Amino acid sequence: MPLQGSLSIERMCLLAGVSRAGFYRFLKAQVPSEEETEVRSAIQQVALQHRRRYGYRRVTAELKRRGMKVNHKRVARIMREDNLLALQPKEFATTTDSNEPLEVYLNLSRRMQLNWVDQLWVADITYIRVQTEFVYLAVILDGYSRKVVGWKLDRSLTSRLAVNALDGAIKLRRPRPGVVHHSDRGVQYTSPEYVAILKLHGMVQSMSRPANPYDNASCESFIKTLKREEIYANKYRDLQDLRSHIEEFIDGYYNQKRLHSALGYRTPEEFEAQTHGKTQAELYAPTLRFITPNTQNAKRAQEKRDSNGVPSPESLPTLDSSHQGHCESSNRAVSTKGSRQEVWPDQVG
């Protein structure tokens, strides 16, 4: 078989010091199989459809949802070769001041076992740079489905920003009394106006421990996703341009299309729809199901409270089926001049 003039493959292999079998294996490796081409094309389609927001794990999950048998290592290799790996996040600063002498509440979310939507809401605030100014975004997520149920964007970092996000969430979900509202200790969430709205709708307030972002991990994770997949990938002309992009990301993409690893690689709306078949008994079961506290941890916490001179409650708040999921919190007014004090719910039921 002549190749390149009068040189045959056999002669070329002899001159190159390789076997003919090795030469043919090399040729075969250079031509991608039909299956390889199909997988690569599907990966490119998914990655570009999600604007390079997906990493290889979510791309793998999406391909499996489409009926393709692929290995995550193979997907990662192809995405790396085609420069399709997700954009890397940047660090960002906090926006809440937890040093103000205002009332704070115990962290109830850490002891909850969720089995339905609207049992736990988590809230947070972040900043976004637009041209020559900073604007602020307040968000509220459902702790069970990770769905964004309320958000508000504004130039001012005031309690009004958080209140407007809360109003939107209440209007959308119309929650029954007993929802636990969890946030950090920022002044926006301890303002009299915000606390009054929570009490008006029978919500129980919960707050993270100082300087502990892991207590609000799901909301922190959403903000990280928003910044990595939307904010850092675009430049915005003004506040209105940013608002339209965030609306599209939250309402058109994150809630409806983006696969969430904590939900078994389902979207928040898909997860809510698939778990909507609960019986009425389950739906109206206790809104709060607290995990039994570890005895040793509880003892150490009690000793720490005693050493700091902080009074402890007789027991943690619990609910049983007789409460039918309703709970109210009438918290004592606590003087906080010069210090921050934790407030326990006086009454649950």
Provide the pLDDT for residue 91.
46
Confidence check: pLDDT of 312 > 60: no
Rounded to whole angstroms, the Cα distance separating 75 from 55 reads 10
* CA dist list (Å): 104 to 183, 189, 203, 298, 304: 10, 9, 15, 21, 19
Query: Quick count: other Cβ atoms within 10 Å of Cβ 231?
Result: 23
Confidence check: pLDDT of 24 > 50: yes
Work out the percent of the chain whose per-residue pLDDT is above 70.
68
**Which one of 58-62, 126-130, 158-162 scores highest in mean pLDDT?**
158-162
**Which one of 78-82, 101-105, 268-272, 332-336 scores highest in mean pLDDT?**
268-272
**Which one of 63-72, 195-204, 210-219 scores highest in mean pLDDT?**
195-204
Q: What is the pLDDT of residues 103-159, one digit of tens each?
A: 668 888 888 889 899 999 999 999 988 887 889 999 999 999 999 999 999 998 889
Work out the percent of the chain whose per-residue pLDDT is above 90.
33
Token digits of residue 318: 């619990």
Confidence check: pLDDT of 10 > 50: yes
Provide the pLDDT for residue 54.
82
Which H or E run includes 141? strand 133-142
Q: What is the pLDDT of residues 90-101, one digit of tens each?
A: 544 445 554 554
Confidence check: pLDDT of 349 > 90: no
What are the residue boundaries of the structural domains of the chain, listed by start?
9-81, 104-343
Provide the pLDDT for residue 29.
60
Instruction: Identify the residue with better confidence: 332 or 305.
Output: 305
Q: How confident is the model at residue 317 (pLDDT cuts 50, 70, 90)?
A: very low
* Domain 104-343: top CATH class: alpha beta
210-215: long-range contacts (C-beta < 8 A, 24 or more apart)? 210/98, 210/185, 211/98, 213/184, 215/107, 215/109, 215/110, 215/182, 215/184
**Which one of 21-35, 44-58, 229-243, 283-297 scores highest in mean pLDDT?**
229-243
Instruction: Identify the residue with better confidence: 299 or 12.
Output: 12
Helix, strand, or coil (residue 331): coil
Instruction: Identify the residue with better confidence: 133 or 199.
Output: 199
